[in-house]
Amino acid sequence: MKEFSFSFSKEKKYLFVGCGSSYNIGFIMKEILNNNNYNSNVITGGHTILFDKIVETDIAILITRTGETTETVEAAKILKNKGIKTIGITCSKNSAITSVCDQKIELDVAYEKSVVMTGSFVFILSLLLNGLKNNDYTEISKKVLANSKKVIDNLDLENYEHFVFLGYDENYGVSKEGALKLQEMALQYVEYHEPLEYRHGPISRLTEKSLVVMNSKNLKEEKKLKEDIKKLGAKVIEVSSEGEIEIPLMNGFETPLRLIPIQYLGYKKAIQMGYNPDSPKNLSKSVKL
């Protein structure tokens, strides 16, 4: 990934902007950057164009896989007019976002035909994380995929019609993205929460038809919640260094790996339901207002 190098500075204030999955990349990055003493925020393209509430920012990073999402493109114009440096990250060539932004990163090697963002999500997230620290996911990702397949292929997926994703901080972003994948690809009823928030209401909807993916940091309270959920008859898959799906904890730098089981689960559930996971109902590749 050397030819697309990108690096962050502790002297600058960053703002991530995007919609849907592209917003989720920004959310995860904001959490990891701030955890490493960088200064960053995240906002949806929609909020940017509807409200004049932009936090102090030096550099705005606008993420849009297609480069054509109206809210993100319009947000770039607004931010640029405020004197903020704009960087557009996209997986298309010569799209609207790059004609607007001061700097462009066109990752056309990560171009996807599918309406749903999968590989491109992981590619953009890894690229941005490499701007903090060099990571090589090649070997470990193969292991995670094999492990994910083993666990997910063994599930009786017809049994589950409710998917809950739990996680803190960057894992909250991973959970939001997990819920979106199951919703887009397999049209499922989904939720995402912080683990301890799950007891404050949402748990009332839990049944033996619920599948809970715990994007865990190995916290004692997360383990306890997992046991409580199991006692209520639901299935829990823990994703962590001690989970059924094993992923080493690397202070958030493991997030690209966490997408592997989630995307595979969405794909498998879509197939089981008889849907085309690449072409969900009511969705287009980018939203144009």
In the complex, least distance from residue 152 CB atom to ligand F1P, rounded to whole angstroms: 21
Contact stretch for ligand F1P (CB under 6 A) within 20-28, 155-163, 216-224, 271-279: 20-28
Question: What does the per-residue mask of binding to ligand F1P show for 101-140, with x meaning CB under 6 A?
Answer: --------------xxx-----------------------
163-202 residues near ligand F1P, rule: CB under 6 A: 184
CB of 121 to ligand F1P, least distance (A): 8
Member of 22, 130, 188, 210 binding ligand F1P (CB under 6 A) = 22
Only segment of 64-72, 81-89, 200-208, 268-276 that touches ligand F1P (CB under 6 A): 64-72
Identify whether the C-beta of residue 37 lies closer than 8 Å to the C-beta of residue 56.
no
Q: Residue 94 and residue 117: Cα distance in Å, rounded?
A: 19
Question: 148 or 286, CB closer to ligand F1P?
Answer: 286
Query: What is the C-alpha separation between 196 and 173, in angstroms, rounded?
Result: 16
Q: What span, in angstroms and rounded, lies between the C-alpha atoms of 170 and 26?
A: 10
Rank residues 72 and 147 by Cβ distance to ligand F1P and give the closer one.
72
Cβ(188)–Cβ(215) below 8 Å: no
Residue type, 59: I
Q: Token pair of 234, please? A: 């639901």
One residue of 8, 15, 16, 21 binding ligand F1P per CB under 6 A: 21
Nearest to ligand F1P of 97, 260 (CB atom): 97
- The answer to the question of residue 65 lying near ligand F1P (CB under 6 A) is yes
Q: Which of 66, 86, 98, 171 touches ligand F1P by CB under 6 A?
A: 66
* Burial class of 113 by CB neighbour count within 10 A (0 to 12, 13 to 18, 19+): exposed
Please return the burial class of 289, using the count of CB atoms within 10 Å of its CB with bins 0-12, 13-18 and 19+: exposed
Interface with ligand F1P (CB under 6 A), residue from 50, 109, 232, 283 = 283
Q: Report the C-alpha gap between 258 and 261 in whole angstroms.
A: 6
Catalogue the E-assigned strands of 103-152. 103-106
Q: Which residues contact 247 (CB under 8 A, 6 or more apart)?
A: 144, 239, 240, 241, 254, 257, 258
- Asked if residue 60 binds ligand F1P (CB under 6 A), the reply is no
Q: What residues line the site for ligand F1P (CB under 6 A)?
A: 19-22, 64-66, 69, 72, 115-117, 184, 283, 285-287
